[in-house]
Amino acid sequence: MFHDRARIFVEGGRGGNGVVSFRREAHVPRGGPDGGDGGHGGDVVLLCDPSRRDLASMRVSAHYRAERGGHGQGANKHGARGSDLIVPVPPGTTLEGLDGEYFDLVEPGQRATVAEGGLGGHGNKRFTASTRQAPRFAEKGLAGRSGWVELRLRLLADAGLVGLPNAGKSSLLARITRAAPKVADYPFTTLSPVLGTIDDGERQLVLADIPGLIEGAAEGAGLGHEFLAHVERCRVLVHLLELGPGTDPDAAYEVVRGELAAHGAGLERLPEIVALSKADLLPADEVELELETWRESHLGSKPLAISSATGAGIDALVGAIFAAVAGAAPVEAPEGPRSGEPEFEAEHRVYRPQGAGGFDVVMVAEGVFEVTGRGVEMLVERHDLANPEALSYLERRLNEIGVIKALRDAGFEPGDEVRVGDEAFDLDT
């Protein structure tokens, strides 16, 4: 079964903890702190892999966690960086990241980092100062970013075959390509998009058989709603209309055109080739009459009559497809920030404060204050509040960045409780 959607949980690796360590060697008095830093956690990275066909593997395993960073050690040994988790996805995969950024992976080798690993904590060596020569605390590593993201696959095809069920799309694809779609004489034979390649000796084009659309497909009726998105990447549409006793090509045309317009992605503006299929079911004079009637009712249209069974008109249709694709404008990416291009990993990450001061202080109850702000939350998360020396250092840092002053302005008194993120502690400042 073809899977073009998946919802997965991604989690960057947690950063390793810094270590408290002191140099101890014979005949070396007061060796001093030598605790190393923890390594950064690994990232979760999506990789565009042309060997992948769909997103079926993500239905089996929906959780992707990168490796955590190694802990620091004594002798100034830093922990190793956690390995990135590489998740292969097929070309044409799109997703919205955890912060709303847009990723569109179309070229083999493109990478998109969707969950960054957490930063490693500093060892006690980092906190040595003239007034603090033997620090007995270190930082904890931070958790990596995590959350649920939804992936969608939009097939990369130059031309798409559209039409009502049983219009002959699968038969045409099997006739002009080496694809082997299921062909039967009942509606909805094709349950998933099928790709095939056509070659004129100089160029190759990818042709997609889009499952039959019915009236109301854009609102979820039938199977078409699930696969209309695959038409978005096509540069040309080949609209098949069934000929035969009791058929109404004009009515069928209006149904499909209405659903393309209702989808809301500009599909109705794509260049279109109209092909009246199953021409072998009618006498030649009736086929010519149908073509003439179509030209009169759709001025400017140049319909083709084809038969996948006999091969009549197939060469002309293939030539028209190549000509239309060559003259079509390149497909534009959807609106929004585009990402996914190969990029270098930044050595340093910058956290910019939001709003005045980068934090907010609110009294939530008598003697209880809550401080919000990513920078302050990260600072508190890094330290072991059960360690008096670490808590004293934290209080000094909060005073330096203005949090203590903001607390006092809000009515804080020494001994009141302060909540930051998931932590709650008393401050005597």
Closest CA to 195 of 213, 218, 169: 169
190 and 139 fall within a common domain: no
Residue 401 lies in a domain: yes
268 and 309 fall within a common domain: yes
260 and 243 fall within a common domain: yes
pLDDT at position 226: 58
The last residue of one of the domains, among 306, 327, 348, is 327
Residue-by-residue pLDDT tens, the chain, 429 positions:
567 789 999 999 999 999 999 988 877 777 789 999 999 999 999 999 988 878 888 878 899 999 999 999 999 999 999 999 999 998 989 998 898 889 999 899 999 999 999 999 999 999 999 888 899 999 999 999 999 999 988 878 889 888 888 888 888 988 888 655 545 454 444 456 777 888 877 788 888 888 766 555 444 444 445 567 777 888 899 999 998 888 889 998 998 888 888 877 788 888 999 999 999 999 999 999 999 999 998 888 899 999 999 999 999 999 999 999 988 765 554 444 444 444 434 334 444 444 445 899 999 999 999 999 989 999 999 999 899 999 999 999 999 999 999 999 999 998 899 999 989 988 877
pLDDT at position 63: 95
169 and 109 fall within a common domain: no
117 and 64 fall within a common domain: yes
Residue 350 lies in a domain: no
304 and 192 fall within a common domain: yes
Q: What is the CATH number of the domain that holds 398?
A: 3.30.300.350
For residue 164, what are the domain limits?
A: 159-327
61 and 139 fall within a common domain: yes
Residue 266 lies in a domain: yes
Q: Please say whether the beta carbons of 92 and 233 come within 8 A.
A: yes
Give the largest CA-CA distance in the chain: 109
Q: What is the CATH number of the domain that holds 31?
A: 2.70.210.12
Residue 412 lies in a domain: yes
108 and 53 fall within a common domain: yes
The total number of structural domains that make up the chain: 3
pLDDT at position 180: 58
pLDDT at position 341: 44
260 and 291 fall within a common domain: yes
pLDDT at position 47: 95
pLDDT at position 326: 87
Runs of H (alpha helix) within 61-111: none
Residue 240 CB contacts under 8 Å (≥ 6 apart), including other chains: 161, 162, 163, 167, 168, 169, 172, 275, 277
Residue 347 lies in a domain: no
Q: What is the CATH number of the domain that holds 276?
A: 3.40.50.300
pLDDT at position 217: 45
Could you give the angle at the alpha carbon of 355 between the alpha carbons of 352 and 361, nearest 5°? 110
205 and 260 fall within a common domain: yes
Residue 88 lies in a domain: yes
pLDDT at position 329: 64
421 and 375 fall within a common domain: yes
pLDDT at position 230: 76
